[in-house]
Amino acid sequence: MSEDLPDDIAELISDFEFLDNWEDRYMHVIDMGKSLPPLDPALKTDATKVKGCVSQVWLVSEQEGETDPVLRFQGDSDAHIVKGLVAIALVIFSGRKASKILSLDAKSILGRLGLSEHLSPQRSNGLNAMVVRIKAEAEALV
């Protein structure tokens, strides 16, 4: 499956497949979150807050182009592990054309990271809420 995935997503999957146990994957997720640039506090509004997340999560997008625009996302969270999940979502979706965002099978990609069986139902729901929000923004532009 990774043959038809963008290189950065294939690399993300490869990085997680290299990690043998949940503790290593958990720490990698947290490290990914730490590498996210902080979101400007002025952008942390009700409009940018992701509904359906137990932790606070904000996603901000900007588009480049008119027809099938490229969407770039920024995000943040008040929880370390969730901030890492935001970072994963950004690797998967940010910097891609809206049509590509819609064609990506996020459930399959996330499944290959081996996170789903270890995330709490609330965190899984929050990650799903991020994916739904990103795909909705892309759909509105296609």
Active site residues: 53
Write out the two tokens for 139: 């759909």
